[in-house]
A = this chain, B = another copy of it.
Amino acid sequence: MNTSANSNQPAVVLLSGGLDSTTVLALAADQGYRCHCLSFAYGQRHCHELELAKINAARWGVKHLVLRLDLDAIGGSALTGDLAVPKGRDFAVMENEIPVTYVPGRNTIFLSYAAAWAEVLGATDIFIGVNAVDYSGYPDCRPDYLTALEQAVNLGSKAGREGRSLRIIAPLLHFHKKEIITLGLGLGVDYALTHSCYDPAPDGRPCGQCDACLLRGKGFSEAGHRDPALSAE
């Protein structure tokens, strides 16, 4: 445990219910933050993830707010609309091409809400589980974007203007998926209680072939563990 540095400081943690954000929750809690988790029902076809976000927020005993967003009214993504989720993509392609599962504006909207809530809570630290190594090529998971948005959020907020600068903390940004899994296991994450698949069966069972499933599978394989979320199969 490493709870001394941030003893009971409030922080906002963006929690999707996926592998990365659940690990971030465990990490922030381990660092002593008083976490306030924020999730979004944004019309995602994999809304099963929200049930697991709820379970993990309860497991860590933290406040959890789920907001409803009209991102499906905007559209433009396979995750919120009728486009098919790509299956069986090559890892090299994932890193270099923005797929149709990209959701326009998603992380900017999520982080804007998180910053707003942080201001109201008197928190300065906002945690997000984005990753720019084993990932799907999303532009809103990249370091230069996060730095620019942090600057904008501070210029546009009362907190930032008054010297209580908000920080966007992405502790997994440069981690390989296997490192994230190893970290999370050490922090007590139960990955059976996380969901990554973009295109699950109605009961939440992962498809195994979308980018998220493939990256997760690769991570568990490289970490030398079996994915416990697959144990029911």
Contacts and interface: CB of A to CB of B under 8 A. Distances in A.
Interface stretch (A151-159, A181-189, A198-206): A151-159
A115 B119 contact: no
A108 B102 contact: no
Chain A interface helix/strand/loop/mixed: helix
B120 A139 contact: no
A142 interface: yes
Nearest to A115: B105
A104 B75 contact: no
B116 A140 contact: no
Contacts of A149: 149, 152, 155-156
A120 B75 contact: yes
A92 interface: no
A69 interface: yes
A11 to B, nearest CB: 15
Contacts of A153: 108
A129 B149 CA distance: 21
| Interface size class of chain A, counting residues whose CB lies under 8 Å from the partner chain | 35 or more
Contacts of A74: 113, 116-117, 120
A10 interface: no
B156 A119 contact: no
B108 A161 contact: no
A55 interface: no
A48 B140 CA distance: 35
Nearest to A106: B116
B152 A145 contact: yes
Interface in A85-118: 98, 102-109, 112-113, 115-117
B120 A115 contact: no
B67 A70 contact: yes
A69 B71 contact: no
A68 B152 CA distance: 24
Interface of A: 65, 67-71, 73-76, 98, 102-109, 112-113, 115-117, 119-120, 139-140, 142, 144-145, 148-149, 151-153, 155-158, 160-162
